[in-house]
Chain A
Amino acid sequence: MISLQTVTKLYNEGRPGEVRAVDEVSLEIVRDAVTVLKGPSGSGKTTLLSIIGCMARPTSGRVLIDDRLVSGLPERFLTEERRSTFGFVFQRFNLIRGLSVLENVTLPAAPLGQDPREVEARALARLEALDLAGKAAMPVEYLSGGETQRAAIARALINDAPILIADEPTANLDTDLTHRFLDIVGALRDEGRTVIMTSHDPRIWQADHVNAVISMQDGRIVGEYA
C-alpha cells in the first residue's frame, strides 16, 4: 500500500509565480494493481508521480510506502528507495543523448554489480517485447518519438522493480504498440507488481488490466473509481 496523507507540493514557494502543483492530496494506492491518474494538463499528475517515486519531496504531508515513512528521509535513503522499489518511465523520457538504446536501457543496472552479459540479455528481451531490438545499438537521439518512448519503457523494466511508475507512457504510441504496452502491464500485475501511470488516453482508462482510475484537477483529486 502506498499512502499519501494531505500531501502538498509548492513550486517557487514564497516567490512570485508560486504554484500549488499538488494541493492537500490524500490517497491510497493498492499494491498488485494498476492505477491510472488522469486529468487536464497542469493538474499535477507528474508532480504527484514524482512524489510517490521519491524523486521530489512534498512541501508538507506524509508519504508512506508499505508503512515506511519516506517523505522525511534524506536524499541518500531516497536513492536507495528508488533503486530497490521503482522503475520509471518519464514523460520527457530522460534518456541520455549520445548513448545507444542498449546503454540507456541497462543504465539502472550499472551500479548493481550484476553479470553484464545477463543484464544485456535481459535488456534485449525487453526491447524485443517492444519491437525495438533492431535499434539496440542506435544512439537514442536518432530514434523516432514512439521508439524513444519504447526505449524509456524498456529502461524502466530492466531491474524488475516492484513498482512501475509511467508518466504518459503511450502518448507517442500507435494502437498496436499501445496494446503491446498494456499486455506488458497486465503481465506485470499478474506477477504481483504494482503499476501507477498517467494517461490522457481513454483506451488506457478503459483497459481490462486497469484496476483504478483517479481524476485530478488543479492539484486535487476530483474523482476515483475502480
Chain B
Amino acid sequence: MTPAFRRQRALADYTLAALARRRGKNIGLVVIYALVVFVVASALLFSSALRHEADTVLAEAPELIVQNLAMGRHDMIKGDVIDDLAAIRGVTRVEGRLWGYFYDSVNGANYTLMVPLDPDRVLAPGEAMIGEGVPRVRGMFWETAPLFLSRYSGDLVRFDVVERISSESALVSTDLILLNEADFRDFFGLPGGVYTDIAVTVRNSREIETIMSKASALLPEARFITRDDISRTYQKLFSWREGIMVALAAAALLAFAIFAAEKASGLSAEEAREIGILKAVGWNMTDVIAMKLWEGALISAGAFLIGTLAGYLHVFTFQAGLFAPILKGWSVIYPDFALTPRFDGVQIAALFLITVLPYTAATLVPVWRVAAADPDQVMR
C-alpha cells in the first residue's frame, strides 16, 4: 500500500466514522436527496420510454397506408388496387394488410389480430404467435399452452403458440396475436381478396406527395395516411405528457437547488469547529477537502443509486403509478400498456451531472472558506 492510498483510506475511514456519528441527520439528507433524484429519474426515464415507444411504432410503420372508406368510415379494401398502386413510379412495394381487433369477453381483454407481412414470421395454419400481454391476461403459464379464441359462446378455435413475441416496443406487441392468413379470414368470416388496408413502401420518401396525388386519382374514395400523419398523432399523445414530466423534473431540480444553496450558505458551528480542530492537529486544507469530498461522494453516490433505482422500478415495474393521476387519459394510447424497460446511459450520466456535481460543489464552498481560516478563529 502506498502512502497516498493509505492517506485516502484513513480519510475515508474518518468520513465513515463522522457520518455514522450524525446518523439521523445524514439519513435525512440521503432521503431528501434520493427523493429528488427519484422524481427526476422517473420523469426522465418515463418520457424517454414514451419517446422510444413512439419511435419504434413509427419505424415499423409503412410510408403510406391506403384505406377504403365507406360512408366516411374505414372499410375493407379490394386487393385489385394493389397492382394499380404498384404501377406508380417510385413505389417499391405494395402489400395488403390484414388486421382487426378482437374483444375477449371472458377475460375482458382486447387483442389485435394480424397476419404478419414479415417473411421471417410465416405461420402455418393452426399456428399463432402472441405478444407478452396475452398469456398474462389469460393465465397461460406454460410455454407450450395452446391459445383458444371463441368468436361466440361454444365456438372455440384452437391455435398452437409457436412463439411469444418480445418486441422492442410493448405498444406494438403486448396484445398482438399473429395468425396465418387463411385462419384469419376464417376467424373473422372474411372473403378472399379483401384487405384491412394497404401498405405502400416508396423508394424516396420525398416523393410521397407526388405518389399520393397519383394514387388518389386512381382511388378517389380512399383515405391516405402517411408516416408523418401517424407521427403527428403520437406527438399529440406524447408531447404534453412529456411536457408535464419536464416541468416536474424542473420543479424537483429547483427544490434541489434550494437545498444545495442552503448547504453552500454555511456550516453549522459544530462542523466549523471540527474543521478547526482537524487543522489544528495538522490536517491541511487538502486533507480537509479530500475528507469532505469523500463525505459528499458517499452521500451523493448513495442517494443517487437509491433514487435512480427507485425511479427505474417505479417507471418500469410499477408503470409510473405515482404519475398516473397527472397522466389521466393514459389509456387513450392503450388499454394494457406496459413500458419497455430501457436504461439510457447518457440520460443517467446527465442526471448524475445535474445532481451530484452541484451538490458536491455546494458542500465544498463553505468548507473551503472555513478551512482557509486560522484554526484559532474557527475553533472557539
Q: Which residues of A contact B (CB under 8 A)?
A: 50, 55-57, 75-76, 78-80, 82-84, 86, 88, 90, 94-100, 103, 107-116, 155, 159
Q: Give complex CA distance A63, B280 in Å.
A: 18
Q: A94-B379, A98-B22 are in contact. Are A113 and B280 (CB under 8 A)?
A: no
Confirm or deny: B101 has a beta carbon within 8 angstroms of a beta carbon on chain A. no
Given contacts A110-B11, A110-B287, contact A159 B282 (CB under 8 A): yes
User: Taking A96-B274, A98-B18, A99-B18 as contacts, is the C-beta distance between A110 and B10 under 8 angstroms?
Assistant: yes
Contacts of B278 in A (CB 8 A): 107
Interface residues of B in 137-152 (CB under 8 A from A): none
CB pair A75–B374 under 8 Å, yes or no, is yes
Beyond A88-B281, A115-B6, 20 extra complex contacts between A and B, CB < 8 Å? A55-B375, A75-B285, A75-B373, A78-B374, A79-B282, A84-B282, A94-B277, A98-B18, A99-B18, A99-B21, A100-B17, A107-B278, A109-B10, A110-B7, A111-B11, A113-B2, A113-B4, A115-B1, A116-B13, A159-B282
Is A96's CB under 8 angstroms from B282's CB?
no
Q: A113-B4, A113-B10 are in contact. Are A79 and B376 (CB under 8 A)?
A: no
Decide if B277 touches A75 in the complex (CB within 8 Å).
no
Cα separation A15 to B199 with both chains bound (whole Å): 88
- Closest residue of chain B to A92, judged by CB? B379
Q: Report B372 CB to chain A, min CB distance, Å.
A: 6
Q: How far is the CB of B369 from chain A (nearest CB, A)?
A: 12
- Interchain CB contact (< 8 A) of A94 among B1, B22, B280, B377: B280
Quick one: closest A residue to B20, CB to CB?
A98
Q: CB of B164 within 8 A of chain A?
A: no
The answer to whether the Cβ of B334 comes within 8 Å of any Cβ in the partner chain is no
B345 CB–A CB distance under 8 Å: no
Q: Chain A residues near B10: list those with CB within 8 A.
A: 109-111, 113, 116
Distance to closest chain A CB from B75 (angstroms)? 79
Q: Report the Cα distance A110→B10, complex, angstroms.
A: 5
A116 partner residues in chain B, CB cutoff 8 A? 6, 9-10, 13
Chain A residue nearest in CB terms to B279: A79
Out of A76, A99, A107, name the residue touching B284 (CB < 8 Å).
Answer: A76
Query: How far is it, in angstroms, between the C-alpha of A94 and the C-alpha of B18 when the chains are bound?
Result: 15
Specify which of B4, B18, B373, B375 lies most central, judged by the most chain A CB atoms within 10 Å of its CB: B375
Question: Which chain A residue lies CB-closest to B376?
Answer: A56
Cβ contact within 8 Å between A114 and B6: yes
Q: In the complex the two chains form, is A110's CB within 8 Å of B283's CB?
A: yes
CA distance A183 to B1 in the complex (A): 36
CB neighbours (8 Å) of A88 from chain B are 280-281
CB distance from A199 to the nearest CB of B (A): 20
Residue of A nearest to B278 (CB): A107
**A contact residues around B9 at 8 Å (CB):** 116
The answer to whether the Cβ of B187 comes within 8 Å of any Cβ in the partner chain is: no
In the complex, residue of chain A having the shortest beta-carbon distance to the beta carbon of B285: A76
- CB < 8 Å: which of B21, B284, B375, B377 contacts A111? B284
Q: Does B14 contact A (CB under 8 A)?
A: yes
Complex CA–CA separation, A116 to B372 (angstroms): 28
